[in-house]
Chain A
Amino acid sequence: MERRPIRTWDLPVRLLHLLLAGGVAAAWLSSQDARDLRVHVVAGLLVGLVLVLRAAWGLWGTEHARWAAFRVPWRAVRDHARGLLRGDAPRFQGHNPLATWAMLGGLSLLALVVLTGIGVQAGEEGTGLLAGRLDRDRGVALHGPHELLAWAVLGWLLLHLAGVAKESLRTAENLPLSMVHGRKRPEPGARPVPARVGAALSMLAVVALACAGPLRPDAEPAPAAVAPPALDPLYARECGDCHEAWHPSLLPARSWLLLMATQDDHFGEDLGLAPALAGQLQELLVLHAAELSPTEAAWRVARGTPPDQSPLRVTDTPAWREAHADLPEETFQSEPVRSRNRCEACHEDAATGAFAHRGIHPPDPGLPADPPPPEAP
């Protein structure tokens, strides 16, 4: 009998598998640091695009890639599992019944991760495919499920690898390698599938076009609403002479009104602003207050500050505390920062109020602020 391996996985299947693995890995690695958010979003959308292409290839692909091959009843899965336990489960040219269901489960999980991710992006960032279409609170509420599903993907991945290892040992065939070159030992009567190079190149072109356009990693998507206005020069001078001119969008309007009403005791100082000047400042502060500004930072301040509170410091808002909760005290005491009040020390776009994730440049945490005090004898 002819035992030469025959092509079982066509080129698009192998290409999409590679892209999927790469996208999932990139999304996972970029999920911890907020500055990597754009990479995370791009990787997630790439996974989504690959899922769409794979779904389409299930309609037009070759024998073992088709959805038709995935139509396996539960009974077959159960019988195959029992056969594995007994040690007499048969070998299959494509996926075995258990692997078929595992593939469907994995692809569904990934689709859910991508969909919830798009929802979180719309809610928390105000950007992406659902920006302006999804209620922001609902988007934010998807953060937990998104993370949970991502952990489920990780767990699924371990099962996937274990299954591949087990099947490789059981059938004495290097299955990871067969996902590279596409060939497997033939079952009796099995025929090789065509490579479908043209389809694979077309898919590669689609992905490349997406990565050069909407999925460009260096492009920061604009918020759904208008960009924040530049800092008013009058405000920048009158307030910025003594401290950083924090962007008006970082406090609710009621906070600014309270600050201006108490300008004779401004953290222990009598500002003595002339009434006309004070009125001008108050007007532009209220006009660009958190409630009326489109940025994520403004939205978090407006949403997170209880209505009965009017914090006078940005650092007293729940939004600020939440966003900086993980930072050690040393970060704020280190020399280039020196104080919690100096947003611009870490946020390159603090003056515009944008506070983009990618604009965060904290000082080197390994850098000691001051030499440690000498040990007491």
Chain B
Amino acid sequence: MKTLPMILALALSGGALAAGGGALPGLLAGYQAAGATAFDADRGAALWVAAQPSPDGGPARSCSSCHPADQRQAGRHARTGEPIEALSPAVVATRLSDPVEVEKWLGRNCKWTFGRECTPQEKGDLLSFINR
């Protein structure tokens, strides 16, 4: 019976460690291993709002179509209107805490926004901007 609170405490502290952008160092190291150089949050910020022509003739696309450039603000899905919580780990503690989740969204959203996968350099710049 004494073990249960201990397990709970361990689980909670583990969760707290993983939260708050905990996945970022590992991800950035991985991108550098894949050829990226030093990351620049300002470069990420510029890429965030860079308008891309839409392949279907719709309005131009950028990351800010759904996520405001101010990372502390909540966004809204460009097509469905579904509310999206802020990306900054300072606002939503679970952001940048799960590398698989981060990679899933970068993969899906780079394809929609730029029509291609992002390079490791771009990914690192974008994540640095989110975490700033």
Known contacts A269-B108, A269-B112, A242 near B80 by CB under 8 Å: yes
The smallest C-beta distance from B98 to any residue of chain A, in angstroms, reads 11
Cβ of B132 under 8 Å from chain A: no
Chain A contacts of B112 at CB under 8 A?
Answer: 268-270
- Report whether B80 and A271 are in contact in the complex, using a CB–CB cutoff of 8 Å: no
Q: Of B77, B79, B104, which contacts A272 at CB under 8 A?
A: B104
Chain B contacts of A243 at CB under 8 A?
Answer: 77, 80, 82
- Report whether B108 and A272 are in contact in the complex, using a CB–CB cutoff of 8 Å: yes
- The answer for the CA separation of A243 and B82 in the assembled complex, in Å, is 5
Within 8 A of A (CB), among B82-132: 82, 84, 100, 104, 107-108, 111-112
Chain A contacts of B100 at CB under 8 A?
Answer: 274
- Report whether B82 and A269 are in contact in the complex, using a CB–CB cutoff of 8 Å: no
The smallest C-beta distance from B117 to any residue of chain A, in angstroms, reads 9
- Report whether B56 and A339 are in contact in the complex, using a CB–CB cutoff of 8 Å: no
Known contacts A269-B112, A270-B111, A242 near B82 by CB under 8 Å: yes
Cβ of A241 under 8 Å from chain B: yes
5 smallest beta-carbon distances between A and B, as pairs = A243-B80, A272-B107, A270-B111, A272-B108, A269-B112
Cβ of B81 under 8 Å from chain A: yes
Nearest to B84 among chain A residues (CB) is A241
Nearest to A339 among chain B residues (CB) is B81
Q: Of A241, A267, A270, A271, which contacts B82 at CB under 8 A?
A: A241
Cβ of A338 under 8 Å from chain B: yes
Known contacts A268-B112, A270-B108, A270-B111, A341 near B56 by CB under 8 Å: no
Chain A contacts of B108 at CB under 8 A?
Answer: 269-272
Chain B contacts of A349 at CB under 8 A?
Answer: none
Chain A 320-334, CB-CB to B under 8 Å as 1, else 0, gives: 000000000000000
Nearest to B103 among chain A residues (CB) is A272
Chain B contacts of A273 at CB under 8 A?
Answer: 104
- Report whether A338 and B82 are in contact in the complex, using a CB–CB cutoff of 8 Å: no
The smallest C-beta distance from A102 to any residue of chain B, in angstroms, reads 59
Chain B interface residue count: which class?
Answer: 10 to 19
Q: Of A267, A269, A339, which contacts B111 at CB under 8 A?
A: A269
The smallest C-beta distance from B105 to any residue of chain A, in angstroms, reads 9
- The answer for the CA separation of A338 and B56 in the assembled complex, in Å, is 23
Chain A contacts of B82 at CB under 8 A?
Answer: 240-244
Q: Of A268, A270, A271, which contacts B56 at CB under 8 A?
A: A268
Nearest to B111 among chain A residues (CB) is A270
Complex A-B: 28 CB contacts under 8 Å: A240-B82, A241-B82, A241-B84, A242-B80, A242-B82, A243-B77, A243-B80, A243-B82, A244-B80, A244-B82, A267-B79, A268-B56, A268-B112, A269-B108, A269-B111, A269-B112, A270-B107, A270-B112, A271-B108, A272-B104, A272-B107, A272-B111, A273-B104, A274-B104, A338-B81, A339-B81, A341-B80, A342-B81
Within 8 A of B (CB), among A235-271: 240-244, 267-271
Most buried by B among A242, A244, A272, A342: A272
Chain B contacts of A269 at CB under 8 A?
Answer: 108, 111-112
Nearest to A244 among chain B residues (CB) is B82
- The answer for the CA separation of A339 and B83 in the assembled complex, in Å, is 14
The smallest C-beta distance from B100 to any residue of chain A, in angstroms, reads 8
- The answer for the CA separation of A341 and B79 in the assembled complex, in Å, is 11
Chain B contacts of A240 at CB under 8 A?
Answer: 82
- Report whether B80 and A339 are in contact in the complex, using a CB–CB cutoff of 8 Å: yes
Chain B 47-86, CB-CB to A under 8 Å as 1, else 0, gives: 0000000001000000000000000000001011110100
The smallest C-beta distance from B63 to any residue of chain A, in angstroms, reads 14
Nearest to A245 among chain B residues (CB) is B82
- The answer for the CA separation of A305 and B38 in the assembled complex, in Å, is 55
Nearest to B105 among chain A residues (CB) is A241
Chain A contacts of B111 at CB under 8 A?
Answer: 269-270, 272
Chain A contacts of B104 at CB under 8 A?
Answer: 272-274
Chain B contacts of A338 at CB under 8 A?
Answer: 81
The smallest C-beta distance from A369 to any residue of chain B, in angstroms, reads 13
Chain B contacts of A272 at CB under 8 A?
Answer: 104, 107-108, 111
- The answer for the CA separation of A240 and B111 in the assembled complex, in Å, is 20
